[in-house]
Amino acid sequence: MQEGIDPLVIKKVEDLRKALHRHNYRYYVLDDPEISDSEYDRMMQELIKLETDYPDLSSPDSPTLRVGAPPLDKFETVVHSIPMLSLDNGFKDSDIIEFDRRVKRNLDTDGDIIYTAEPKLDGVAIELVYENGRLVTASTRGDGFNGELITSNARTIRSVPMVLESKEDKNIPSYLEVRGEVFIRKEGFKRLNDERLQQNLPPFANPRNAAAGSLRQLDSRITANRPLEIFFYGIGVVSDFDMESHGDILYALQALGFRINPNIRCKITLNEVLDYYRELSEKRHLLPYDIDGVVVKVDGIGLQQTLGATSRSPRWAIAYKFKAIQETTRITGIEVQVGRTGVLTPVAHLVPVTIGGVRVSRATLHNEDEIKRKDIRIGDTVLVQRAGDVIPEVVKVIDSKRTGQEIRFKMPQHCPVCNSSVVRAEDESALRCINTTCSAQVKERIKHFASKGAFDIDGLGDKLVEQLVDRGLIFSYADIFGLNEDTLKNLERMGQKSAANIVDAIEKSKRITLDRFIYSLGIRHVGEHVAGILATAFGSLEELIHATRDDLIAIQGVGPVVAESIADFFEQDENRNSVNDIVAGGVQISGETPRKPGGLEGKVFVLTGTLETLTRSQAKEIIETAGGKVTGSVSRNTDYLVAGTSPGSKLKRADDLGVDIIDEKTLKRLTIDQ
C-alpha cells in the first residue's frame, strides 16, 4: 500500500535500504567497511524516521529489523526438509584413517578420496530459507528433524544477509536453504558475562551456551544486543544449483554474500587433512572464537549421495575432535594471591600436567564460595580445564579418588602479604585486603599500568616491577616516570643497554590515548572495553574526572555498578593526586576531544603566591587563551584561585567565600588542549 506516497520518498527508502545492506555486508561479512560507523548510524536513523513516518513502507527486508522486532509468545515449530544430522566423532589419526577406509569400501574404490576440511565451531546450528533472494525464515536445528522458528532473531545477526545480491554474476536460486553455525567470539563472551555480573545475572558457562541462550530469546531486541555471528557451512534443498563439489558450494555461497570461514581447506587428500588438523590445533588459541575440532567432508556431491547417511549422521563426514583441554591431576597445596584491587584469590598448586599441549602447574580456585561449592580440599584429585588463553581452573573434584587424608582449606583472616585485616563486602564473594599500600597490590597495579593495553612499557615486565617495588624504588604510577638509567642499571639481570632501552620505552609511553590512560588506572570494573566507551563519551580526562554518577549511568554500556566504581575512584583524593602526578610526570594524552570552545569562557581566575614553572604573565596567558579572565582580587565572582607557594591573604578570603582553590598542575590540566 504505497499509493499516495511521494515517489521520491519511496525511492529514498529503497536507496537507503540498499546502501545499508551493502555497507552491512562490507563491514560484517567482508570486514572491509567503506564508510564510518557514524555515517552508517546516520543513514540508519534516517531510514528509521522514514519508516516511522510512512508505516506503509515497512518491509520484512528492511535493515531496521536488525535491531529486533516485537516479542513473541512462543516459537513455532518447523520441520526441516532435509534433517539436520549430527556428526560421528574421531579422536586420533587412526580414527580418520579408518573413516577414509570405510568411505573407500562403501564407494568400492581404491583411488584417493578428495576432502574438504573446515574448523568445527562450537556454537549453534541454524538453517535459513531464502525465496527469490529474500530471507523468509530461520530455524534452529532442534532435534535435527524439527526446529524452532527464530526468524526475527536471525535477522539481528549482522552477518546474516537479509537480501541476496549476486557478487559474481551468479544466478540467485529461487529457493535456497543454507546452514551455518551461530557463535560468539571469546572476547564478546567475556564482555557479555561482565555485563551480566554487573546486573546480578548468572553468567553463561561458555560461549556456546551464550549463543544458544541468545538465539532462543522471545524478544529479538535482546538478541540484537548479543554479539552473535555466523559462518555458513552447507545447504539443504536448493533450486537451480548444480554443484559438483562441497568446496564449490561454499564458494558459491560466498559469492551470494554468505560469510564462510576463511580457514577452510578445499580439495585435499587424507594426509593433507591430518596436517590441517595439526596446524589448526596449534593455532586454535589464536582464533577469536572457540573451535573443538575439524569437520572432514567428502568433497564430491555425487559421492556424498552414494554414501548416504545413517539415521544419526552422514557417512561422508566426520568430526575430528581436538585433544581434551581437561585433565585430572592432584592438588598439592593452596596459595592465596593478592590482586591489584586487594582481592584475595586462592590458587591451587598442582602435580604438573600437560593440557592441550601446555604444561599446567597452577589453577585458580576463584574464591572462598567456589571452594565451598565444589568442596575442594588439599590432596584432592581434580579435573582441571584450560581454555585458550584463560587461566586454568579447577572444574570439579573426582570424588571416587578421595582417601580421607585430604585437608580442608580456610581463607586467611589477614592479608598473606601485608598482614592487614581482610574484609568481605556484602553481596561479594571476594575477600579483600583493605590496605591500598599493601606491596602486593602496589605491584599488581603497576604491572597493570605498564601492561600492553595500558601504557605498554616494553621491558617493564612482572619481575622487574617486583624488584623495583621490593627495593622501594617505585611505589606510585608516577614514580615510573622518574626512573633513570643509573637506578635501573644496578638491578639484577640488567645492564646499561637494557636500562637505556627501558628508559626509552618509558619516554615513548608518555604519549597515550585517552582510552588507554583510563584503562591503565585500574579502576574496578573498567576494562579495555569500558575504558573505550568512557573515552568516547567524555572526550577528555577532565570531563571524566568530574562526571557525576548520573552522567556516568546515562552512558550506554555503563551500568550502576560501574558508574559507582568510577565516581568512587575519582572522589578519593589519593586517586586524583595520582592522576595529577602522572600528568605532571610529562604524560600527554593524545586525541582528547578539545573541550567545547569556551569551556573556560567567562571563568574568573585570581593568582596568588609563586608558581613553580609559570611566571604570572605566562599563567595569565594560558588562562586567557582558554577563554578565562584574570583579575587582581578575590570576590564572589571569582571562580578559581590559583595558589602557589607563600600565598597571600587572598587564600583565606577565597576559602571564606568558598571559591575553588587550585594548584598549578590543576590549572595546566584545565587549560590543556584549549
CB of 274 to ligand IVH, least distance (A): 17
Neighbours of 295 (CB within 10 A): 21
When the beta carbons of 121 and 541 are compared against ligand IVH, the nearer one is 121
Contact residues for ligand IVH (CB under 6 A)?
Answer: 85-87, 118, 120-121, 125, 141, 181, 233-234, 295, 314, 317, 319
- Pick from 174, 177, 193, 176: nearest CA to 185: 193
Minimum separation from the CB atom of position 142 to ligand IVH (A): 11
Q: Specify the DSSP element, H or E, that contains 408.
A: none
Distance from chain centroid for Cα 144: 32
Position of minimal CB gap to ligand IVH? 125
Q: Residue 338: what residue type?
A: V
**Among 313, 302, 308, residue whose Cα is nearest residue 106:** 308
| Separation between Cα atoms, residue 479 and residue 101, nearest integer Å | 67
> Cβ closer to ligand IVH: 243 or 500?
243
Task: Tell the smallest beta-carbon distance from residue 117 to ligand IVH (Å).
Answer: 9
Q: Minimum CB separation from ligand IVH for residue 537, in Å?
A: 38
Q: How far is the CB of 250 from ligand IVH (least distance, A)?
A: 9
Residue of 232, 274, 5, 13 lying closest to 125 (CA atoms)? 232
Q: What's the length of the chain? A: 674
87 or 488, CB closer to ligand IVH?
Answer: 87
Nine-digit cell string for 173: 536460486
Of 5 and 307, nearer to ligand IVH (C-beta) is 307
Return all residues near 615 (Cβ < 8 A) that are at least 6 apart.
Answer: none
Q: CA nearest 47: which of 30, 72, 73, 65?
A: 65
d(CA 293, CA 568): 46
Q: What CA–CA distance (Å, rounded) separates 37 from 23?
A: 10
Residue-wise DSSP of 157-188? STTS-SB---SSSPPPPSEEEEEEEEEE-HHH
Minimum CB–partner distance for residue 196 and ligand IVH (Å): 24
- In one-letter notation, the amino acid at residue 634 is V
Q: Which is nearer to ligand IVH, 121 or 672 (CB)?
A: 121
> What is the grid cell recorded at 171?
544466478
**Residue with cell string 569400501:** 105
Number of H helices, E strands in the chain: 24, 24
Cell 526475527, located at residue = 152
Q: How far is the CB of 150 from ligand IVH (least distance, A)?
A: 15
User: Closest CB to ligand IVH among 312 and 511?
Assistant: 312
Closest to 180 in 3D by CA, of 239, 118, 227, 136: 118
49 catalytic? Reply is: no
Question: Looking at beta carbons only, is 141 or 443 nearer to ligand IVH?
Answer: 141
- The active-site residue out of 74, 120, 508, 668 is 120
CA dihedral sign, ordered 454, 455, 456, 458: negative
Residue with cell 590543576: 666
Place of cell 574421531: 90
Nearest to 196 by CA among 204, 186, 184: 204
For residue 49, count other CB atoms closer than 10 A to its CB. Answer: 10
Q: Which residues are catalytically annotated? A: 120
